[in-house]
Copies of this chain bind each other. A is one copy, B any other.
Amino acid sequence: MIPDLASRVHDHSYRVDPIIRTLLDTDFYKFLMLQMIWKLKPDVHATFGLHNRSGAVRLADCIDEKELTAQLDHARSLRFQKNELIWLAGNSFYGRTKIFEPGFLEYLGDFRLPPYQLSRRNGEFELRFEGLWRETTMWEVPALAILNELRARSAMFRMGRFELDVLYARAKAKLWSKVERLRILAREGPLKISDFGTRRRHGFLWQRWCIEALREGVGEALIGTSNVKHAMDLGLEAIGTNAHELPMVYAALAENDAALREAPFTVLEDWSRLYDGNLLVLLPDTFGTTNFLKAAPDWAADWTGARPDSKPPIEGAEELIDWWKARGRDPGQKLIVLSDGMTIDSIEASVRHLRGRAQVSIGWGTNLTNDFAGCVPHGADVDVMPPSLVCKVIEVEGRPAVKLSDNPAKFLGPKDEIARYERVFGYQPGVWRQA
Protein backbone atom coordinates (compact mmCIF):
# COMPACT_ATOMS: atom_id res chain seq x y z
CA MET A 1 0.00 0.00 0.00
CA ILE A 2 1.34 3.43 -0.89
CA PRO A 3 0.95 5.69 2.12
CA ASP A 4 -0.71 9.04 1.64
CA LEU A 5 2.26 10.98 2.93
CA ALA A 6 0.60 14.39 3.06
CA SER A 7 -2.31 13.12 5.17
CA ARG A 8 0.00 11.17 7.42
CA VAL A 9 2.21 14.12 8.22
CA HIS A 10 -0.77 16.42 8.61
CA ASP A 11 -2.52 13.99 10.97
CA HIS A 12 0.49 14.02 13.26
CA SER A 13 1.16 17.70 13.32
CA TYR A 14 -2.02 19.66 13.37
CA ARG A 15 -2.52 22.09 16.16
CA VAL A 16 -6.05 21.34 17.14
CA ASP A 17 -8.61 18.73 16.09
CA PRO A 18 -11.64 21.01 16.09
CA ILE A 19 -14.74 19.82 17.88
CA ILE A 20 -16.93 22.59 16.51
CA ARG A 21 -16.37 22.74 12.77
CA THR A 22 -18.87 25.41 11.87
CA LEU A 23 -21.32 27.72 13.62
CA LEU A 24 -24.06 25.61 12.01
CA ASP A 25 -22.96 22.76 14.27
CA THR A 26 -25.63 23.64 16.81
CA ASP A 27 -29.29 22.95 17.45
CA PHE A 28 -31.84 24.46 15.09
CA TYR A 29 -33.99 25.93 17.87
CA LYS A 30 -31.11 28.24 18.73
CA PHE A 31 -31.64 30.04 15.41
CA LEU A 32 -35.38 30.36 15.93
CA MET A 33 -34.87 31.72 19.43
CA LEU A 34 -31.98 33.93 18.33
CA GLN A 35 -34.12 35.60 15.69
CA MET A 36 -36.75 36.34 18.34
CA ILE A 37 -34.16 37.68 20.80
CA TRP A 38 -32.50 39.74 18.07
CA LYS A 39 -35.86 41.18 17.07
CA LEU A 40 -37.60 41.67 20.41
CA LYS A 41 -34.91 41.74 23.12
CA PRO A 42 -31.79 43.01 21.35
CA ASP A 43 -30.45 44.92 24.34
CA VAL A 44 -31.00 42.40 27.12
CA HIS A 45 -27.92 41.06 28.85
CA ALA A 46 -27.96 37.42 29.90
CA THR A 47 -25.24 35.34 31.48
CA PHE A 48 -25.04 31.63 30.73
CA GLY A 49 -23.16 29.27 33.03
CA LEU A 50 -22.06 25.68 32.98
CA HIS A 51 -23.68 23.40 35.54
CA ASN A 52 -22.56 19.82 36.13
CA ARG A 53 -25.40 17.74 37.55
CA SER A 54 -23.13 14.66 37.85
CA GLY A 55 -21.54 14.94 41.25
CA ALA A 56 -19.35 11.91 40.59
CA VAL A 57 -17.48 13.34 37.62
CA ARG A 58 -15.31 16.39 38.15
CA LEU A 59 -14.58 17.82 34.72
CA ALA A 60 -11.29 19.52 35.54
CA ASP A 61 -9.94 16.16 36.69
CA CYS A 62 -10.31 14.63 33.26
CA ILE A 63 -10.19 17.57 30.85
CA ASP A 64 -7.02 19.52 30.22
CA GLU A 65 -7.62 23.24 30.62
CA LYS A 66 -5.36 24.13 27.72
CA GLU A 67 -7.26 21.86 25.39
CA LEU A 68 -10.54 23.30 26.57
CA THR A 69 -9.25 26.82 25.94
CA ALA A 70 -8.00 25.82 22.49
CA GLN A 71 -11.40 24.40 21.55
CA LEU A 72 -13.34 27.37 22.90
CA ASP A 73 -10.98 29.75 21.11
CA HIS A 74 -11.36 27.77 17.92
CA ALA A 75 -15.15 28.03 18.17
CA ARG A 76 -14.79 31.80 18.64
CA SER A 77 -12.74 32.01 15.45
CA LEU A 78 -15.63 30.67 13.37
CA ARG A 79 -17.88 32.76 11.16
CA PHE A 80 -20.87 31.63 9.14
CA GLN A 81 -19.76 30.67 5.66
CA LYS A 82 -21.43 32.13 2.63
CA ASN A 83 -22.94 28.82 1.52
CA GLU A 84 -24.35 28.32 5.01
CA LEU A 85 -26.12 31.67 5.06
CA ILE A 86 -27.47 31.03 1.57
CA TRP A 87 -28.78 27.68 2.74
CA LEU A 88 -30.44 29.22 5.82
CA ALA A 89 -32.06 31.79 3.55
CA GLY A 90 -33.11 29.40 0.79
CA ASN A 91 -34.05 26.22 2.62
CA SER A 92 -37.54 25.55 3.90
CA PHE A 93 -37.98 24.75 7.57
CA TYR A 94 -41.09 23.09 8.91
CA GLY A 95 -42.60 23.45 5.45
CA ARG A 96 -42.07 27.19 5.37
CA THR A 97 -39.58 29.16 3.25
CA LYS A 98 -38.02 32.48 4.29
CA ILE A 99 -38.37 31.70 7.98
CA PHE A 100 -35.38 33.94 8.68
CA GLU A 101 -35.69 37.57 7.70
CA PRO A 102 -32.98 39.31 5.65
CA GLY A 103 -31.93 41.58 8.53
CA PHE A 104 -31.40 38.60 10.78
CA LEU A 105 -29.32 36.80 8.17
CA GLU A 106 -27.25 39.96 7.85
CA TYR A 107 -26.78 39.90 11.61
CA LEU A 108 -25.58 36.29 11.37
CA GLY A 109 -23.11 37.35 8.68
CA ASP A 110 -21.25 39.37 11.29
CA PHE A 111 -21.85 37.00 14.16
CA ARG A 112 -19.14 35.47 16.28
CA LEU A 113 -19.31 33.78 19.67
CA PRO A 114 -18.65 36.29 22.47
CA PRO A 115 -15.80 35.94 25.03
CA TYR A 116 -15.96 33.34 27.77
CA GLN A 117 -14.78 33.31 31.39
CA LEU A 118 -13.04 30.14 32.49
CA SER A 119 -11.74 29.44 35.98
CA ARG A 120 -11.35 26.42 38.27
CA ARG A 121 -12.77 25.64 41.68
CA ASN A 122 -12.62 22.32 43.57
CA GLY A 123 -11.78 20.25 40.50
CA GLU A 124 -14.61 21.87 38.55
CA PHE A 125 -14.46 24.32 35.72
CA GLU A 126 -16.43 27.49 36.11
CA LEU A 127 -17.39 28.47 32.62
CA ARG A 128 -19.50 31.59 32.09
CA PHE A 129 -20.65 33.58 29.11
CA GLU A 130 -21.53 37.17 29.90
CA GLY A 131 -22.88 39.74 27.50
CA LEU A 132 -25.83 40.40 25.25
CA TRP A 133 -28.39 37.62 25.28
CA ARG A 134 -28.36 37.58 21.45
CA GLU A 135 -24.69 36.60 21.63
CA THR A 136 -24.32 34.49 24.79
CA THR A 137 -27.26 32.25 23.93
CA MET A 138 -25.30 30.76 21.04
CA TRP A 139 -22.65 29.31 23.36
CA GLU A 140 -24.93 26.76 25.00
CA VAL A 141 -24.72 23.95 22.48
CA PRO A 142 -21.09 24.28 21.31
CA ALA A 143 -19.84 24.66 24.90
CA LEU A 144 -21.60 21.45 25.95
CA ALA A 145 -20.50 19.58 22.84
CA ILE A 146 -16.90 20.66 23.47
CA LEU A 147 -16.93 19.53 27.09
CA ASN A 148 -18.57 16.20 26.30
CA GLU A 149 -16.22 15.41 23.46
CA LEU A 150 -13.13 16.43 25.44
CA ARG A 151 -14.22 14.10 28.19
CA ALA A 152 -14.72 11.25 25.72
CA ARG A 153 -11.34 12.01 24.18
CA SER A 154 -9.63 11.90 27.57
CA ALA A 155 -10.94 8.35 28.08
CA MET A 156 -9.97 7.32 24.55
CA PHE A 157 -6.52 8.86 24.87
CA ARG A 158 -5.57 5.95 27.14
CA MET A 159 -6.76 3.31 24.65
CA GLY A 160 -4.63 1.60 22.04
CA ARG A 161 -5.45 1.34 18.34
CA PHE A 162 -7.12 -2.02 18.76
CA GLU A 163 -9.13 -1.05 21.81
CA LEU A 164 -10.54 1.90 19.91
CA ASP A 165 -11.49 -0.39 17.07
CA VAL A 166 -13.38 -2.67 19.46
CA LEU A 167 -14.92 0.31 21.26
CA TYR A 168 -16.47 1.67 18.06
CA ALA A 169 -17.45 -1.75 16.77
CA ARG A 170 -19.37 -2.40 19.97
CA ALA A 171 -20.95 1.04 19.99
CA LYS A 172 -22.08 0.54 16.39
CA ALA A 173 -23.44 -2.92 17.14
CA LYS A 174 -25.21 -1.56 20.21
CA LEU A 175 -26.82 1.28 18.31
CA TRP A 176 -27.84 -1.01 15.48
CA SER A 177 -29.64 -3.32 17.89
CA LYS A 178 -31.68 -0.29 18.98
CA VAL A 179 -32.32 0.61 15.35
CA GLU A 180 -33.67 -2.89 14.78
CA ARG A 181 -36.11 -2.39 17.64
CA LEU A 182 -37.21 0.92 16.13
CA ARG A 183 -37.70 -0.83 12.80
CA ILE A 184 -40.11 -3.22 14.46
CA LEU A 185 -41.83 -0.26 16.12
CA ALA A 186 -42.15 1.49 12.75
CA ARG A 187 -43.63 -1.63 11.18
CA GLU A 188 -46.36 -1.71 13.85
CA GLY A 189 -47.61 1.81 13.20
CA PRO A 190 -46.66 5.46 12.84
CA LEU A 191 -43.26 6.47 14.18
CA LYS A 192 -41.59 9.85 14.08
CA ILE A 193 -38.14 10.21 15.51
CA SER A 194 -35.38 12.75 15.25
CA ASP A 195 -31.86 13.19 16.52
CA PHE A 196 -31.64 15.61 19.46
CA GLY A 197 -28.20 14.49 20.53
CA THR A 198 -25.83 17.34 19.64
CA ARG A 199 -25.05 18.68 23.09
CA ARG A 200 -24.21 15.40 24.81
CA ARG A 201 -22.80 13.57 21.83
CA HIS A 202 -19.64 11.50 21.88
CA GLY A 203 -18.34 13.47 18.89
CA PHE A 204 -19.35 15.17 15.68
CA LEU A 205 -18.54 12.25 13.34
CA TRP A 206 -20.12 9.75 15.70
CA GLN A 207 -23.31 11.80 15.75
CA ARG A 208 -23.35 11.71 11.98
CA TRP A 209 -22.94 7.93 12.02
CA CYS A 210 -25.85 7.62 14.46
CA ILE A 211 -28.09 9.73 12.22
CA GLU A 212 -27.09 7.71 9.17
CA ALA A 213 -27.76 4.47 11.05
CA LEU A 214 -31.27 5.71 11.86
CA ARG A 215 -31.86 6.66 8.25
CA GLU A 216 -30.56 3.30 7.04
CA GLY A 217 -32.71 1.43 9.51
CA VAL A 218 -36.01 3.30 9.79
CA GLY A 219 -36.05 5.40 6.60
CA GLU A 220 -38.90 7.89 6.58
CA ALA A 221 -39.57 7.42 10.29
CA LEU A 222 -36.47 9.55 10.81
CA ILE A 223 -38.01 12.97 10.39
CA GLY A 224 -34.83 14.97 10.92
CA THR A 225 -32.12 16.16 13.25
CA SER A 226 -31.81 19.10 15.59
CA ASN A 227 -28.28 19.64 14.30
CA VAL A 228 -28.29 22.25 11.54
CA LYS A 229 -24.98 21.19 9.98
CA HIS A 230 -25.98 17.54 9.78
CA ALA A 231 -29.41 18.55 8.44
CA MET A 232 -27.79 20.61 5.68
CA ASP A 233 -25.21 17.98 4.73
CA LEU A 234 -27.55 15.00 4.87
CA GLY A 235 -30.57 16.67 3.31
CA LEU A 236 -32.66 16.13 6.43
CA GLU A 237 -35.19 18.39 8.11
CA ALA A 238 -33.84 20.61 10.87
CA ILE A 239 -35.96 20.01 13.97
CA GLY A 240 -36.65 22.02 17.14
CA THR A 241 -38.60 25.01 18.37
CA ASN A 242 -37.78 26.66 21.70
CA ALA A 243 -36.19 26.13 25.09
CA HIS A 244 -36.48 27.06 28.76
CA GLU A 245 -34.25 30.08 28.37
CA LEU A 246 -37.11 32.10 26.88
CA PRO A 247 -39.46 31.92 29.87
CA MET A 248 -36.48 32.04 32.25
CA VAL A 249 -35.26 35.35 30.84
CA TYR A 250 -38.76 36.80 30.53
CA ALA A 251 -39.41 35.78 34.13
CA ALA A 252 -36.17 37.32 35.37
CA LEU A 253 -37.05 40.56 33.60
CA ALA A 254 -40.48 40.73 35.28
CA GLU A 255 -40.71 43.78 37.52
CA ASN A 256 -43.13 42.26 40.03
CA ASP A 257 -44.96 39.06 40.96
CA ALA A 258 -47.90 39.77 38.66
CA ALA A 259 -45.58 40.23 35.67
CA LEU A 260 -43.68 37.13 36.72
CA ARG A 261 -46.91 35.12 36.70
CA GLU A 262 -47.63 36.31 33.18
CA ALA A 263 -44.10 35.85 31.82
CA PRO A 264 -44.51 32.28 30.46
CA PHE A 265 -47.52 33.40 28.42
CA THR A 266 -45.92 36.63 27.27
CA VAL A 267 -43.24 34.41 25.75
CA LEU A 268 -45.89 32.49 23.85
CA GLU A 269 -47.45 35.69 22.55
CA ASP A 270 -44.10 36.98 21.38
CA TRP A 271 -43.23 33.62 19.80
CA SER A 272 -46.47 33.54 17.84
CA ARG A 273 -45.70 37.00 16.44
CA LEU A 274 -42.75 35.38 14.62
CA TYR A 275 -43.72 31.78 14.03
CA ASP A 276 -46.77 29.68 13.31
CA GLY A 277 -47.90 26.17 12.36
CA ASN A 278 -45.76 23.31 13.63
CA LEU A 279 -43.42 25.78 15.32
CA LEU A 280 -46.12 26.49 17.91
CA VAL A 281 -45.00 23.90 20.43
CA LEU A 282 -45.57 24.65 24.12
CA LEU A 283 -42.79 23.93 26.60
CA PRO A 284 -44.92 23.84 29.73
CA ASP A 285 -42.56 22.73 32.50
CA THR A 286 -40.20 25.67 33.08
CA PHE A 287 -41.94 26.60 36.34
CA GLY A 288 -44.06 23.47 36.74
CA THR A 289 -46.41 21.94 34.19
CA THR A 290 -49.56 21.51 36.24
CA ASN A 291 -49.83 25.16 37.27
CA PHE A 292 -48.81 26.27 33.76
CA LEU A 293 -51.66 24.35 32.15
CA LYS A 294 -54.14 25.53 34.74
CA ALA A 295 -53.23 29.19 34.28
CA ALA A 296 -52.74 29.06 30.49
CA PRO A 297 -55.01 31.28 28.38
CA ASP A 298 -57.40 29.37 26.17
CA TRP A 299 -55.61 30.25 22.93
CA ALA A 300 -52.58 28.26 24.20
CA ALA A 301 -54.64 25.11 23.68
CA ASP A 302 -54.80 26.02 19.98
CA TRP A 303 -51.07 25.59 19.61
CA THR A 304 -49.99 22.63 17.52
CA GLY A 305 -48.48 20.66 20.35
CA ALA A 306 -46.33 20.55 23.43
CA ARG A 307 -43.06 19.17 24.68
CA PRO A 308 -43.27 17.77 28.22
CA ASP A 309 -39.64 17.79 29.30
CA SER A 310 -39.25 16.72 32.92
CA LYS A 311 -41.92 14.21 33.84
CA PRO A 312 -41.85 10.54 32.93
CA PRO A 313 -42.92 10.64 29.27
CA ILE A 314 -46.21 8.78 29.50
CA GLU A 315 -47.40 10.70 32.56
CA GLY A 316 -46.34 13.98 30.96
CA ALA A 317 -48.24 13.09 27.79
CA GLU A 318 -51.34 11.95 29.67
CA GLU A 319 -51.49 15.23 31.55
CA LEU A 320 -51.42 17.12 28.24
CA ILE A 321 -54.08 14.88 26.70
CA ASP A 322 -56.35 15.48 29.69
CA TRP A 323 -55.74 19.21 29.42
CA TRP A 324 -56.57 19.38 25.71
CA LYS A 325 -59.74 17.37 26.35
CA ALA A 326 -60.73 19.65 29.22
CA ARG A 327 -60.23 22.65 26.93
CA GLY A 328 -62.39 21.01 24.25
CA ARG A 329 -59.57 20.22 21.79
CA ASP A 330 -58.96 16.85 20.11
CA PRO A 331 -55.70 15.39 21.46
CA GLY A 332 -55.57 13.07 18.43
CA GLN A 333 -54.71 16.13 16.33
CA LYS A 334 -52.05 17.38 18.75
CA LEU A 335 -48.32 16.85 18.60
CA ILE A 336 -46.46 15.62 21.68
CA VAL A 337 -42.69 15.89 21.47
CA LEU A 338 -40.90 13.57 23.92
CA SER A 339 -37.26 14.48 24.37
CA ASP A 340 -36.26 14.18 28.03
CA GLY A 341 -33.71 11.42 28.47
CA MET A 342 -35.43 9.05 26.07
CA THR A 343 -34.02 5.54 25.86
CA ILE A 344 -34.96 2.78 23.45
CA ASP A 345 -37.08 1.25 26.23
CA SER A 346 -38.97 4.45 27.00
CA ILE A 347 -39.37 5.17 23.28
CA GLU A 348 -41.02 1.80 22.70
CA ALA A 349 -43.20 2.11 25.78
CA SER A 350 -44.40 5.64 25.14
CA VAL A 351 -44.95 5.26 21.39
CA ARG A 352 -46.98 2.09 21.95
CA HIS A 353 -48.93 3.65 24.80
CA LEU A 354 -49.80 6.84 22.95
CA ARG A 355 -50.52 5.53 19.45
CA GLY A 356 -53.95 6.57 18.23
CA ARG A 357 -54.35 9.02 21.11
CA ALA A 358 -51.99 11.81 20.00
CA GLN A 359 -49.33 12.53 17.39
CA VAL A 360 -46.03 11.60 18.99
CA SER A 361 -42.60 12.72 17.92
CA ILE A 362 -39.46 11.48 19.67
CA GLY A 363 -36.40 13.69 20.11
CA TRP A 364 -33.66 11.21 20.89
CA GLY A 365 -30.61 12.61 22.65
CA THR A 366 -27.83 11.14 24.76
CA ASN A 367 -28.97 7.54 24.48
CA LEU A 368 -28.68 7.91 20.70
CA THR A 369 -25.42 9.82 20.31
CA ASN A 370 -23.44 8.90 23.41
CA ASP A 371 -24.17 5.40 24.63
CA PHE A 372 -20.85 3.62 25.08
CA ALA A 373 -21.83 1.71 28.21
CA GLY A 374 -20.49 -1.82 27.93
CA CYS A 375 -18.34 -0.91 24.94
CA VAL A 376 -14.94 -0.34 26.57
CA PRO A 377 -12.73 -3.40 25.95
CA HIS A 378 -10.53 -2.97 29.03
CA GLY A 379 -11.59 -0.70 31.82
CA ALA A 380 -14.60 0.87 33.38
CA ASP A 381 -17.73 2.26 31.81
CA VAL A 382 -17.60 5.30 34.04
CA ASP A 383 -14.91 6.87 31.84
CA VAL A 384 -17.21 6.99 28.84
CA MET A 385 -20.51 7.75 30.57
CA PRO A 386 -21.57 11.26 29.58
CA PRO A 387 -21.88 13.54 32.61
CA SER A 388 -25.16 15.39 32.91
CA LEU A 389 -24.00 18.85 31.89
CA VAL A 390 -26.20 21.82 31.19
CA CYS A 391 -25.42 25.37 30.18
CA LYS A 392 -28.22 27.59 31.42
CA VAL A 393 -29.00 31.24 31.73
CA ILE A 394 -28.15 32.18 35.31
CA GLU A 395 -28.41 35.94 35.36
CA VAL A 396 -30.42 38.52 33.43
CA GLU A 397 -29.62 42.20 33.73
CA GLY A 398 -28.04 41.51 37.11
CA ARG A 399 -30.99 39.49 38.42
CA PRO A 400 -30.87 35.73 39.06
CA ALA A 401 -32.61 33.40 36.62
CA VAL A 402 -34.66 30.49 37.93
CA LYS A 403 -35.86 27.18 36.58
CA LEU A 404 -38.20 24.90 38.51
CA SER A 405 -39.29 22.14 36.10
CA ASP A 406 -41.28 19.09 37.21
CA ASN A 407 -38.18 17.31 38.39
CA PRO A 408 -36.57 18.90 41.50
CA ALA A 409 -33.19 17.58 40.36
CA LYS A 410 -33.41 20.12 37.56
CA PHE A 411 -34.15 23.18 39.74
CA LEU A 412 -31.79 26.08 39.06
CA GLY A 413 -31.36 29.37 40.90
CA PRO A 414 -30.84 30.83 44.39
CA LYS A 415 -32.96 29.25 47.13
CA ASP A 416 -34.93 32.36 48.00
CA GLU A 417 -35.79 33.01 44.39
CA ILE A 418 -36.85 29.40 43.91
CA ALA A 419 -39.14 29.80 46.92
CA ARG A 420 -40.58 32.98 45.44
CA TYR A 421 -41.21 31.33 42.05
CA GLU A 422 -42.85 28.35 43.76
CA ARG A 423 -45.17 30.71 45.59
CA VAL A 424 -45.98 32.95 42.62
CA PHE A 425 -46.68 30.06 40.23
CA GLY A 426 -48.41 27.89 42.80
CA TYR A 427 -45.93 25.12 42.05
CA GLN A 428 -47.41 21.73 42.90
CA PRO A 429 -44.82 19.22 43.96
CA GLY A 430 -45.44 15.60 44.72
CA VAL A 431 -47.63 13.55 42.48
CA TRP A 432 -45.74 14.10 39.25
CA ARG A 433 -42.24 14.09 40.70
CA GLN A 434 -39.88 11.53 39.27
CA ALA A 435 -38.62 8.74 41.53
Contact = CB atoms under 8 A, between A and B. Distances in A.
B7 A166 contact: no
Contacts of A2: 6-7
A176 B377 contact: yes
Interface in A188-215: 212-213
A77 to B, nearest CB: 20
Nearest to A212: B162
B163 A169 contact: no
A166 B172 contact: yes
Interface in A134-170: 160, 162-163, 165-166, 168-170
A172 B165 contact: yes
Nearest to A162: B216
A166 to B, nearest CB: 5
Contact of A166 (B6, B166, B213, B377): B213
A4 interface: yes
Contacts of A173: 166, 169-170, 172-174
A165 B170 CA distance: 12
A165 to B, nearest CB: 7
Contacts of A176: 166, 169-170, 377
Nearest to A168: B169
Contacts of A377: 176, 216-217
B213 A162 contact: yes
A7 B4 CA distance: 9
Interface residues of A, number: 22
Interface in A212-232: 212-213, 216-217
A166 B377 CA distance: 18
Contacts of A165: 172
Nearest to A215: B162
A173 B169 CA distance: 6
Contacts of A4: 4, 7
A171 B173 CA distance: 8
A330 to B, nearest CB: 38
A163 B4 CA distance: 27
Contacts of A213: 162, 166
A166 B214 CA distance: 12
Contacts of A7: 2, 4
A316 to B, nearest CB: 33
Contacts of A160: 216
Given A7-B4, A176-B377, A216 B163 contact: yes
Interface in A321-380: 377
Interface string A225-265: 00000000000000000000000000000000000000000
A318 B20 CA distance: 63
Nearest to A3: B4
A4 B170 CA distance: 29
Q: Which of A162, A169, A216, A217 has the most CB of B within 10 A?
A: A169
A182 to B, nearest CB: 13
Contacts of A212: 162
Nearest to A171: B169
25 contacts: A2-B6, A2-B7, A162-B212, A162-B216, A163-B216, A165-B172, A166-B172, A166-B173, A166-B176, A166-B213, A166-B216, A168-B169, A169-B169, A169-B170, A169-B171, A169-B172, A169-B173, A170-B173, A170-B176, A172-B173, A173-B173, A173-B174, A176-B377, A216-B377, A217-B377
Given A176-B377, A217-B377, 8 more contacts: A2-B6, A160-B216, A165-B172, A166-B172, A166-B173, A170-B172, A173-B173, A173-B174
